[in-house]
Structures are given as structure tokens and as C-alpha cells.
Structure 1
Amino acid sequence: MTAEEYQQWQHELAVGYAAEKVRAGNWPEEGAYDRALADSASRLPDGLGTEGMLLLAGEVDGSLVGRLWIGLTHPAGVADCAFIYDIDVIEARRGEGLGRALLTAGEEAARARGAAALELNVFGANPVAAELYRTSGYRVVSQQMRKDLRKDADAPVAAAPEAIRRAAAAYDRAAFAGDPGSLTGAERDLATLEADLYLSRAKLAHARLITGTGDHSEESSLLDRALTLYRGIGDVRGEAEALCWIGIYHQFVLNDDPAALPYLRRAADLAPDPLLRSYALRHLGIAAHHAGDLPEARALLEESTTLRREAGFIIGVAANLVGLIYLAAAEGRDTAPLITEARELATEAGATSILAQVEEAAAQAA
């Protein structure tokens, strides 16, 4: 970082850190910003020149897209383990997979300086970050848990999504202080929230179809709205997930593989994380199976299964094994190892529906 970048980063870091601490219930809102600044200063007494600290700026085509702060000495004294104090992508470039790129670059920088491991803390109120770290190979080594004992803990205001709170704050700054600087970011946050809601509602509609428990007629329109919103804000991951589910809708609901394939292929190309890519590959494999291309179907399902194993998605592995059992039987290969593993995984996960599918596949393979 340059000195100018460092000063701007310190301000933004304190704003974000204070907000997370307040949201997590660790600090009161009053004085949180000053407390966050002091906390950062205590760890960086010499600013950019603080020994044992990597203060890195991520750039794309010469433009700043994010910052990364790594301590080469673990704050708790863990031997040979570096520690990520902060990783951040600037607001205008979020949703492009840059957070994962920064994380990978940070891992390489720490490894080059002798670190054998890298740790970080993530707040429970930040599930997006937690998912990024989980799918990047990080595992939980300790965990704090809390239950709110206040009688009004479930009040709507307390449960309001952060995007709505930020929109309210942006309005106040614009209306009462004449500062419109936060409006664009707040509008993007709300668009992301709206898109996430449409996609989530579409998944629930699909679940109603699968279980035969209610109306699912709005699934297609909800997916189309989500896709439009994700594209409008440049959220690549959201676009990929919406495309994948539109493909699944065409394949599963409309029984139209030719219409599903372009969506699924595009989703596989765009997917920034292994788990989402595994979904697209799974359904491309199903389409290949329907078309009678057994080698292609097997290759796609096996690649999807590998990604799901790496992500720890046990139920998803069991679901893929069902398809691989059918393929093995059609190709005259031994199905027993696949059946055994699928039963074990489905039983372990408590996935009774998948277990029933395993037994059906095993019966047909016998």
C-alpha cells in the first residue's frame, strides 16, 4: 500500500470492524469507531512499516480492487501460523470472485515467508465470508456461540437485514447531512438482497414441487427476476447460481434438456466456487445420461462428485453416487462399492430421500 492508500484503508477498516462488532453484540454502538481505530493502531504501531505485517493492495488493470492485512506472527502465538486480520474487496467490485483471488494471493505470500498455516476469525453474522473460507479449504478450529436472552431479541428491528440498516443510514446521511456518497452502495446492497430473496423463494417453490406440498407456479418468474437483478449489479456468482437453477427448472420441471443446456453450461463457466460448479456439472451429466452419452455423463458426474467431496457436501456426494450407480450398471461395471458408499453417506447425513433413491438404484442394478 501507499501511504495515502493506508490512511483511507484505516478509516474504512475501522468503519467495517466497528459495524461487525456492534452487529455481533460485542461492542456498544457509541464509541465503536474510535475503539476500532485504536485496536488497529495497537497492532500497527509503525503503520506501513510495522515489522511482521503484510499490508497488501490488490489491483486489476492498475485499479485498486481490495486490501489484505496478514500478520506473519499469530496473535495467540501459534507456531508457524500466520493470521489474516482483514481482507476486503471494494464495494464496486464485489461479486466478481476477487475475494477468493485475494485470499489465494495472501496464502501464497504467507507461504513464501515461511508460514505453514493461515488462520482467521469470521463473525457468525457474516455467512457470505464464512462460506468463502469454507469452500477455500479453511476448517473450524474453535467456535464461540451465543444466545440472546433479551425479551425483544426477536423484534423485527433487531432482525432487520444489514442491507436495510445500511439503506436507512444512507438516507439519513443524504437527507440530513447532504451527503449522497453512500446511496449507490446502499442501492446495490438492496438489489443484492432482493435478488437473493427471489432466488431463495424460487428454491422453496422447487422444494414444494419435489415434495408435492403446494403451488410452485411462480418458480420460473422468480428465477428470471433474480437473474436480471444479479446481472444488473454485476454479481457474477449470483448470476451463475440463477442460471444454474433456470437450467434445473427446464430440465426437471419442463423435461427439456436442450433448453436447459445453455443455462447449465454458462453457469459452469461462470461459477466462482467449486460447490456451485458441482451443481451445474451434475445436471449437465444428467442431460448427457438422458442423451445416451454414458462416458460423458460419467465424466461430468465424477467431476461434480470430486468438487463436492472437497467442499464437504456429503449429501451432494450421495446424490451423485445414485447417478453413478445407474451409469455403472449400464456400462456393466461393478456397482457394489458405489452402493455401499452411497448408503453410508446418506445414512450419516440423515438423507432419507436420497437413501430411498440409493435402494431403488441398487434394486435396478441387481
Structure 2
Amino acid sequence: MSTLRAMNDTEFKQYIDKAIDNYAKERVKAGNWSEEEAILKSRKEYTELLPKGVKTQDNYLFSVVDKNEVVGMIWLNKEDDEVGFICEINILKKYQGMGYGKYAMKEIELVAKNLGLKKIELHVFGHNKTAINLYENLEYTVTNMCMSKRLL
């Protein structure tokens, strides 16, 4: 049976470098950053968002665990008294498509409710069709849309 468990320092150390790298790649793929600047910008954002790692105030990082094995993670930021923001959900590749993402999303909603939050928001890259489908199936709606076109 799957559970959400507060991420510990060891898990955070294993997570953070991969997260920085993945975020940089996603920003490059989305056309937001150049490859040359991506890692530096990504590292800067994570350092600003999580200066104290798992102990950063108003941030809740969880490992998604199944049979004592970490299969992914989810991170909720409490933006204010009513709104939470899912900064990241990441299910390891070999566990994708097995329901862990859906499970983590439903569990983080319970965490948010227990924190007294009234709404959860998130960002999804436009090219991530799998995530978009998951969020739509969980009744998330588009509230903003940013579009771009490369001029050659």
C-alpha cells in the first residue's frame, strides 16, 4: 500500500540535484531558458525556494512510498492562509503509469485541507501532456495560459 511520508534529509539530498537538473531541462524544452544558463538559473530558484531544505517554513515535501521503497515525491508550498501551490510532483520513470501520481495528488489535497487551505494551484509545462491529463482527470482547471512562438 502506498503512503506519503515527510521527506527526510537523506531523501532530500538524493532528490535535489536531480530536481535541479530536471527543472533546467524542462525550462530549456519549453523555450524559457538557454542550455547555457539553465542549470545556474534552476539551482538559484531551488536555493531561494528551499533555503533550509525540508525544514523550510511553509513547504511540505513528501516521499511517495510503496512497500518501503520511494517511488516519487510531491512538494506543497503554503502560499498564504488559503492557497497552496504544488511546486513539484515527480514519480520515478519506472513507476510512472501505475497510479502513484494520482495517489500523491489526492493525498496532497488532504494535507492541504488539514492545513486549512481552500485551494491548490500548480504549474504544468504545455508539452507535458501526461501531467495535463492527470490534472484534468482530478478536476483541476486552467486558470491562466501563457503561449509563445519562436521567431526565426
Query: Normalised by the size of structure 1, how large is the TM-score?
Result: 0.39
* 1:63 pairs with 2:69: yes
Which of 115, 127, 140 lines up with 2:142 in the alignment?
140
1:31 alignment partner, SS class: helix
| SS in structure 1 at match of 2:84 | strand
Superposed displacement of residue 56, structure 1: 0.6
Aligned-partner residue type, residue 120 of structure 2: L
**2:97 corresponds to which residue?**
95
Whole-Å Cα distance in 2 between the matches of residues 105 and 127 of structure 1?
A: 22
Taking the aligned partners of 1:69 and 1:23, their CA distance within structure 2 comes to: 22
The residue that corresponds to 2:24 in the other structure is 18
Amino acid paired to 1:56: F
Report how far residue 34 of structure 1 moved. Answer: 2.5
Please say if 1:2 is aligned against 2:13: no
Q: Who is 2:3 aligned against?
A: none
Q: Deviations over 1:65-101 (max 9, x none)?
A: 1101110115xxxx61100000000111111011111
User: Could you say which structure has the larger radius of gyration?
Assistant: 1
Q: Which amino acid aligns with 2:84?
A: A
**CA separation in 2, counterparts of 1:103 and 1:40?**
21
Alignment root-mean-square deviation, CA: 1.1
Say whether the 8 Å CA contact 1:18–1:33 is kept in structure 2. yes
**CA distance, structure 1, for counterparts of residue 151 and residue 106 of structure 2:** 39
Alignment map for 1:108-123 (pairs within 5 Å): 108-123=110-125
Quote the residue 1:127 is aligned against: 129
Residue 38 (structure 1) aligns with? 44
CA distance in 2, matches of 1:131, 1:137: 10
Amino acid at match of 1:66: G
Q: CA deviation at 1:11?
A: 0.8
> Is 2:29 aligned against 1:27?
no
Letter in 2 for 1:86: E
User: Which structure carries more strand by proportion?
Assistant: 2
Whether the 8 Å CA contact 1:24–1:123 is kept in 2: the answer is yes
CA distance in 1, matches of 2:73, 2:135: 16
Q: One-letter code of the match for 1:85?
A: C
1:1-366 equivalences in 2 (<5 Å): 1-73=7-79, 80-150=82-152
Greater length-normalized contact order (CA 8 Å, ≥ 6 residues apart): 2
Shift of 1:43: 0.7
What 5-or-longer segments of structure 1 have no aligned partner?
151-366
The question of whether the paired residues in 2 share the 8 Å contact of 1:69 and 1:87 is answered with yes
State the Cα distance separating 1:31 from its structure 2 match.
3.0
Give, as a single letter, the amino acid of the residue that structure 2 aligns with 1:59.
V
Deviations 1:205-257 (A, max 9, x none): xxxxxxxxxxxxxxxxxxxxxxxxxxxxxxxxxxxxxxxxxxxxxxxxxxxxx
Quick one: distance in 2 between partners of 1:146 and 1:58?
A: 34
Cα deviation, residue 51, structure 1? 0.7
> 1:41: Cα distance to partner?
1.0
From the two aligned structures, give the one with the greater helix fraction.
Answer: 1
SS at match of 2:133: helix
